[in-house]
Amino acid sequence: MKSKIKITISIVLLFCIFNARAEDLKLWYKQPAASWNEALPVGNGRLGAMVFGGVENERLQLNEETVWSKGGMPQNKKEGYKVLPEIRELLFNGNYVEAEEMCKKYLLSERMPSGTNTYQTLGDLNISFSGIKGYSNYQRELNLDSAFTKTTFITGKIQHTRTVFSSHPDQVLVMLAEADQPGQISCVIELTRPGDFETINVQNGWIRMTGQANNNGVKFETIVKVKLDGGQMSVEGQKLVIKDADKLELRLVAGSDYRGDSPGNLCSAYLQALEDRTYHQVFDDHIKDFQQYFNRVTLNIPASAASTFATDERIDAQKRGAYDPSLTSLYFQYGRYLLISSSRPGCMPANLQGIWADGLTPPWNSDYHVNINIQMNYWPAEITNLSECHIPFLEFIGKLRDNGEKTANELYNSDGFVAHHTTDAWLFTAPTGEPQYGMWPMGAAWAATHIWEHYLFSGDKQFLADYGYSVMKDAALFLSGFMVKHPETGKWVTGPSMSPENVFLTPDNQRASVCMGPAMDLQIVWHLFNSCIDASNELNIDKKFRESLQSKLTNLTPVKIAEDGRILEWSDERVTEALPGHRHISHLYGLYPSYQYNWNDTPDYMKASEKVLEDRLEHGGGHTGWSRAWIINFYARLHDKEKAWKNLTALWAKSTLPNMIDNHPPFQIDGNFGGTAGIAEMLLQSHSGEVTLLPCLPDELPDGEVSGLMARGGHEVSIQWRNSELYQATIKSKLGKPIKLRYKNKVVEFQPEVGEEIILNSNLSKLN
């Protein structure tokens, strides 16, 4: 009898804890956004808006992914390779400052003026409402599972509701304003943009804005079409005036000539396809399309008292150490929401701000930094079951090849292709700027490892064979030609290079950055070469190339552990850190995102990684949002649940804005994506030949459930846990590959069929 009671109680607890609650998947606020950092993002992969939720004045700040200026590209310094031997000799001999000056003179292109090539706002859709005198019961919210914002309030006795979403199927941004009594919507509608190169054309029923970003950038067009139920519409100058409508619907489309199309033809085609579509058809198809991605993964954490507060209040409470466990699931799903909304197949990859950036000169041009930031954007893609959202980045890597081959040839006299620390919509690959950040030829190599990761999770051999492997191979070809043998050890080493954006002190106390064989370079070589070898074996091609990579790996300079027990960031033990709390922790690349270091095979490097993190944090590391997010992933891989949780809550407390976007400062979206990946890594890991359940479960999350996470090998994993212990797990095999499954010290192996589900109890014994 007692056992039956226990079973019944367990079932009730399961239902209470894990029944999905829609209210848990909302960001909500009691007041309109006072600034851009409080506005809420919507997007369909390419067309987005920040929604302010104003009562009398609503602003939708607009973006379209291809609106880029174009003022020139950094050019390769041809025949720079002629001075490479001299630069390398200087570096091997410890003459760092002199070598760095030569790099600047002979290898680095001039830095482009800030804003020369920059992602820009499409403009603003402003709606000024009249007849509203005071309001109450205000709430605005972002529904993560259905991808729309809703603003509600009461004025007098009238309930107003405004809904905004960006539809991928119909390629349109929609706003619907409603009231529960007729004739209550009166407003003025206007399209504006801060630039000088726009023309506004207004006719009854629509507004058209055309322009060109900084004269020689893309040409663009956006059209707002107005649909009314009741009321009247008129034109006043460059504005549309609406009076006494029952309902107002705005449909905004946009396009550019970035891909060679006519912006006007694109907008006309979008509007024509919408001609016979009702609001409810567009809205329903939008939700159905979005949820095919979003609903693949659930993460349910029991709510605490803190979860009843508005989102900005919850974030603010983190500064005071409030315990809010279900903020984990909200933050996690917000990251997935942002990725779906800013990176769809056929689109450009998410940039430094995703697709949401205000003004004509956003921070760092809102470009593509290839020395961690764009890679971090895609860390959650595979593990959180959004493999398709990874594709824009994977295709972008291949698009860098044409320019990257020229840079490899003209600057380094090498085969293959190279990219450095940053690029933009025009795909430049030349090193640019100062040695401290520009003299880093590893961008393409790191990015190319994402292709193999995509294959490990998805098993898409066609993509690997038709496209992915050749990109990986060309990146590895460059490194093969770029590396030289160290004159003292005879082992292969990269250089000239540097550890991203960091500096060291030379023995005579001068600052420098450029060196031979920084730890991160060697770890990227290991990662890319092993990925190429595995891909070559998988496709059964390129045996000679595979063997050449293996030969170089066998004789690759090893990453050193210093006398103090830390991994050396620079190979020369005579140099010291100039910035011991630096935001980049590049020499732990082998820990994450790579799989070179793990507790099973390289415990010494795991312990050395712990010491690196301890020292970095002691000196103020993790002070930017994305850096803190990277630290969460490091500690997840180290299985340090206490520090993983501590850094997750620090990310919320110190680097999360009221609208939950990441604060570098200012806003960079990579911290959101890195934090989402870190939460996933706490719950599931599959990088070391095993699928590990709950490898880093914080004590602060004693009960919960996750479903739909992906492990390498094409395994979809769902996990339930109670009192910080595994309760039940379900493994669904998409590819029919063998799986070695671990929970703590228990390891089991299975050979599932394609589509087979295996249900396991806390002892990893099969229940089906």
Q: What is the pTM of this model?
A: 0.96
The order of strands in the sheet holding 247-256 is: 26-29, 136-143, 148-155, 158-167, 172-179, 247-256, 219-229, 206-212, 198-203
Q: What is the pLDDT of residue 19?
A: 43
Report the 10 Å Cβ neighbour count for 35.
10
Q: How far apart are CA 1 and CA 13, in angstroms?
A: 18
- Burial profile 422-461: b = 16 or more Cβ within 10 angstroms, e = fewer: bbbbbbbbbbbbebbbbbbbbbbbbbbbbbbbbbbbbbbe
Q: What is the pLDDT of residue 8?
A: 38
Report the 10 Å Cβ neighbour count for 37.
16
Report the 10 Å Cβ neighbour count for 644.
25
Nearest Cα to 77, choosing from 413, 581, 344?
413
Cβ atoms of 336 and 676 within 8 Å: the answer is yes
Q: How far apart are CA 448 and CA 471, in angstroms?
A: 7
Classify burial at 754, counting beta carbons within 10 Å of its beta carbon; exposed 0-12, middle 13-18, buried 19 or more.
Answer: exposed
Which ranges of the chain have pLDDT less than 50?
1-22
Q: How far apart are CA 605 and CA 609, in angstroms?
A: 6
The one-character DSSP state at 490 is -
Model pLDDT for residues 619-667, shown as the tens digit of each residue: 999 999 999 999 999 999 999 999 999 999 999 999 999 999 999 999 9
- HSE-CB for 252 with a 13 A CA cutoff: 30
